[in-house]
Amino acid sequence: MTTSSSLVYLIALPLVGATILLLAGRRADKWGHILGTLMSASSFAVGVYQLTQMLGRSNEARPVTQKLFEWISVGSFKVDAGLMLDQLSICFVLLITGVGTLIHIYSISYMSHDHDRRRFFAYLNLFIAAMLLLVLGNSYLNLYVGWEGVGLASYLLIGFWNQKPAYATASKKAFVMNRIGDMGLSFAIMIAFATLGTVSFDGIKAASEHASTAALTAIGIMLLVAATGKSAQFPLQAWLGDAMAGPTPVSALIHAATMVTAGVYLITRSNFIFDAAPTAQLLVVIVGAITLIFGALIGTAKDDIKKALAASTMSQIGYMILGAGLGPVGYAFAIMHLLTHGFFKAGMFLGAGSVMHGMNDEVNMRKYGALRKFMPITFITFGLGYLAILGVPPFAGFYSKDKIIETAFNAAGNKGLILGIVTLLGAGITAFYMSRVMILTFTGKSRWDDDAHPHESPLLMWLPMAILAIGSVASGFLLSNGNALVNWLAPLFAEHEEEAERLNPNLVSGLALAVVALGVAIAFIKYSRQEVAAVAPEDVSVFTKIARKDLMQDAFNEAVFMRTGQALTATLVKTDEAVIDGAVQGVGSMAMGSGSVLRGIQTGFVRSYAALILVGAALLIGAIWMVTK
Amino acid sequence: MDAANYLYLSVLLFTIGAVGVVVRRNAIVVFMCVELMLNAANLAFVTFSRINGDLNGQVVAFFTMVVAACEVVVGLAIIVTIYRSRRSASVDDASLLKR
């Protein structure tokens, strides 16, 4: 362990940027975007500095800590606001600030016509700061602050154009669904505190060796719930497609490269919990497997280029979650896929933004076609990302995705066989829908609207795309050359034995490539050989219809959760009106009712009063006589 | 003569008074009936004094007479005032508080 006083600058720089931009208001319109980009870039510079420092130390001395201040101190319970930068965090720091800075640069041009560009950069900086806090926190409580911060930034950015009601609704949907996950995280923290008495990573790691499996399983499941919310995994995945309402740079940065991978970070960071709780770990694998197929199937039916990419993101994060669920052998590969995915998916999203930029913000791929000649740079950068996600050697996805498929096959028992086949199948479907995106957008005949004048994007937009494309080409090789990333991360994870190989790695790669080739071929036959209708055909099979509706996820949520929720609230309102209000008003009306009955006795006739007194006296005497007899 | 007979007379007088109070409308008659009830009570007190052989009952009877005299003064004054303003001594007519 090493201490450092410069960690805080990583977070403070973008946070200061966000504060200045939000407080300065319209005065900052002229230079706000430059300040925002500089803050993000300088945070990246601090990250690179930290990496060079870290490289010069031995494995044990690599993690860096910094105590900021004493946050909570109640009796024996103490939580410091502290930062920790270790081998895992530095990967995220460089991804967040690096890709983040590129996307800041891209946004300068992409958002240049938006008169709220300064606010956009303020939110982007806020996001960078929150995400860095998430990956740098040294306890679950610090992580939670960042976790909520990125949720807020995501909400603000999805609803950036909230003058459109549909976009405002999309941001609310994302926020509410994320809250369910956040609740999981807070439960996990509470259970950890109740059973282990601490919330710091180190403390829980030490305590987990003696803790009961039941407690660790409960914590693990709650952490998984948190991860499914933030990472758009089954069953909390429905918000990601709608989140594409945000400006495209946001989709690239937050809803593809960084924030949605927070769930993978959480599970990898909590590896000591999941390793000790096999049930929770199995659930992680199941969630990953379901989501990777689920997202891929949605991707095949989407005509909106951004929603197709969003479905793809969901599916690729499914791969990462599955990898992380495979235990110590899989964590490093999950992180590797996360990093390569950060490059190629951000690059493709920026490419999609570039296409939209040239096509009057049209997102329907059926109205694209033949854009290759008009946008050569976008075509090449997008194409390199495409080859990377397919897993064609030597592009990045080949190294990361193949490793996950291979590790899945090697898992013991039937689990390995099922997971291997699922991941292979996912690779095939991925190849199909990504080829579909490529073919519909860049090749074939033009199906543009009449007023479309496609043109290549300016330098500030294609430069980040080009850099990310280089990353899509080279990152896989660089990270896996000599097992670089695996060895880098190894000190963080439990030691594990080499598992027996079910299939030869070369055979797995061959199988994966064959499945990918099949997917590409089907897409080619279906969309390149045949005419593509500019309007989506209606006479399609029921499966297509279901896939177009995101596999009924919204209908399901509406029927199961929204309707029952509404019924619950309706019942509660009725109960409130009948029981609570009824009791209060009942007291009043009872007093009034009994009063109006008793008022009848007050006739005003003296003789009847006298008679009543007489009867009363007689009864009293009778009663006394009865008692004393 | 058996002292119990005085008690029977007292009960009879009290009952006549009570019925008169409840049944009659004229305030003067009601008033006289109240006096009748008081005197019935006085008779009972005196009888018990005689039976028990001490003076307690007779002392209470004196008190009752004083109270009755005061009551007559106040009561008659009220009745006369009501009669002056309403030209009626009927107790049923004097039910203004009801409305």
Tens-place pLDDT, residues A188-234: 999 998 888 888 888 888 888 888 888 899 999 999 999 999 988 88
pLDDT of residue A34 exceeding 60, the answer is yes
Report the candidate in A88, A421, A411 with the shortest Cα–Cα distance to residue A281.
A411
Report the candidate in A427, A117, A614 with the shortest Cα–Cα distance to residue B22.
A614
Least CB–CB distance from A605: residue in B18, B92, B99: B92
Least CB–CB distance from B22: residue in A603, A604, A607: A607
- The interface predicted TM-score of the complex, written ipTM, equals 0.84
Closest-CA distance, B95 to chain A, in angstroms, reads 5
Give the DSSP H/E element, type plus range, for residue A516: helix A505-523
pLDDT of residue A568 exceeding 60, the answer is yes
CA A565, CA A145: separation in Å to the nearest integer?
Answer: 28
- Report helix, strand or coil for A507: helix
Whether A606 contacts chain B with CB within 8 A: yes
- Measured distance between the N- and C-terminal CA atoms of chain A, rounded to whole angstroms: 95
| φ and ψ at residue A293, rounded to 5 degrees | -75, -45
pLDDT of residue A144 exceeding 90, the answer is yes
- Mean pLDDT comparison of A213-217, A524-528, A623-627, highest-scoring range: A623-627
Q: What is the pLDDT of residues A395-414, one digit of tens each?
A: 888 888 888 888 888 887 78
- Report helix, strand or coil for A424: helix
Q: Dihedral (C-alpha) A280, A193, A153, A292: value to the nearest 10 degrees? A: 0
Q: What is the pLDDT of residues A53-71, one digit of tens each?
A: 888 888 788 888 888 888 8
Cβ pair A270, A224 in contact under 8 A: no
Query: What pLDDT, on a 0 to 100 scale, did the predictor assign at position B97?
Result: 66
Whether A69 contacts chain B with CB within 8 A: no
Query: What pLDDT, on a 0 to 100 scale, did the predictor assign at position B14?
Result: 94
Closest-CA distance, A579 to chain B, in angstroms, reads 37
Query: What pLDDT, on a 0 to 100 scale, did the predictor assign at position B42?
Result: 94
Task: Please report residues of A whose CB lies closer than 8 A to that of B37.
Answer: none
Per-residue pLDDT, averaged over A294-317, amounts to 89
CA A624 to mean position of chain CA atoms: 82
A583 or A502, greater pLDDT:
A583
Question: Tokens 């095939």 correspond to what residue?
Answer: A428
Cα dist from A366 to A293, A443, A547, B48, whole Å: 24, 11, 17, 119
A547 or A346, greater pLDDT:
A346
CA A588, CA A347: separation in Å to the nearest integer?
Answer: 69
Q: What is the pLDDT of residues A429-487, one digit of tens each?
A: 999 999 988 888 888 787 887 777 888 888 888 888 899 999 888 888 888 887 888 88
Inspect the interface and report whether the beta carbons of B21 and A603 lie closer than 8 Å.
Answer: no
Q: What is the pLDDT of residues A315-327, one digit of tens each?
A: 999 999 999 988 8
Task: Please report residues of B whose CB lies closer than 8 A to that of A618.
Answer: none
Query: What pLDDT, on a 0 to 100 scale, did the predictor assign at position B38?
Result: 94
- Report helix, strand or coil for A534: coil
3-state SS string for A69-133? EEEEEECCEEEEEEEEECHHHHHHHHHHHHHHHHHHHHHHHHCCCCCCHHHHHHHHHHHHHHHHH
| φ and ψ at residue A65, rounded to 5 degrees | -125, 155
Query: What pLDDT, on a 0 to 100 scale, did the predictor assign at position A1?
Result: 66
Per-residue pLDDT, averaged over A616-629, amounts to 93
B18 or A533, greater pLDDT:
B18
Per-residue pLDDT, averaged over A117-128, amounts to 91
Task: Please report residues of B whose CB lies closer than 8 A to that of A602.
Answer: 98
CA A562, CA A560: separation in Å to the nearest integer?
Answer: 6
What tokens were used for A339? 């990093």
What tokens were used for B28? 């003067």
Per-residue pLDDT, averaged over A359-387, amounts to 86
Q: Does the CA dihedral A479-A104-A243-A268 come out positive or negative?
A: positive
3-state SS string for A333-401? HHHHHHHHHHHHHHHHHHHHHHHHHHCCCCCEHHHCCCCCCCCHHHHHHHHHHHHHHHCCCCCHHHHHH
Cβ pair A143, A267 in contact under 8 A: no
CA A171, CA A244: separation in Å to the nearest integer?
Answer: 10
Least CB–CB distance from B95: residue in A605, A610, A614: A605
Q: How, if at all, do strands A2-3 and A64-74 pair? A: parallel
Query: What pLDDT, on a 0 to 100 scale, did the predictor assign at position B99?
Result: 52
* Burial group, residue A156, by CB count within 10 angstroms (0-12, 13-18, 19+): buried
Report the candidate in A486, A322, A308 with the shortest Cα–Cα distance to residue A401.
A322
What tokens were used for A41? 């870039």
| φ and ψ at residue B98, rounded to 5 degrees | -60, -40
Q: Percent of chain A at pLDDT above 90?
A: 31
Q: How, if at all, do strands A77-85 and A64-74 pair? A: antiparallel
* Burial group, residue A370, by CB count within 10 angstroms (0-12, 13-18, 19+): middle
Query: Which residue from A minimizes the CA distance to B22?
Result: A607
Q: Which residues of B touch A (CB under 8 A)?
A: 18, 21-23, 25, 30, 91-92, 94-99
Cβ pair A306, A373 in contact under 8 A: no
Q: Which amino acid is it at A495?
A: E
CA A313, CA A310: separation in Å to the nearest integer?
Answer: 5
Report the candidate in A201, A313, A223 with the shortest Cα–Cα distance to residue A261.
A313
pLDDT of residue A557 exceeding 90, the answer is no
Query: What pLDDT, on a 0 to 100 scale, did the predictor assign at position A198?
Result: 85
CA B60, CA B65: separation in Å to the nearest integer?
Answer: 9
H-only helix segments in B24-55: 27-52
Query: What pLDDT, on a 0 to 100 scale, did the predictor assign at position A496?
Result: 75
CA A28, CA A34: separation in Å to the nearest integer?
Answer: 10
| Least confident interval from A202-206, A287-291, A366-370, B84-88 | A366-370
Q: What is the pLDDT of residues B39-87, one digit of tens each?
A: 999 999 999 999 998 999 999 999 999 999 999 999 999 999 989 988 8
- Measured distance between the N- and C-terminal CA atoms of chain B, rounded to whole angstroms: 54
Task: Please report residues of B whose CB lies closer than 8 A to that of A614.
Answer: 18, 21-22
Burial A513-544 (b: 16+ CB within 10 A, else e): bebbeebbebbbeebeeeebeeeeeeeeeeee
- Report helix, strand or coil for A146: helix
pLDDT of residue A83 exceeding 80, the answer is yes
Q: Sorting pLDDT into bands at 50, 70 and 90, what band is A236?
A: confident
Report the candidate in A369, A547, A366 with the shortest Cα–Cα distance to residue A445.
A369
Query: What pLDDT, on a 0 to 100 scale, did the predictor assign at position A455?
Result: 82
Q: Report whether the peptide linkage leading into residue A376 is cis, meaning its omega lies within 30 degrees of zero.
A: no
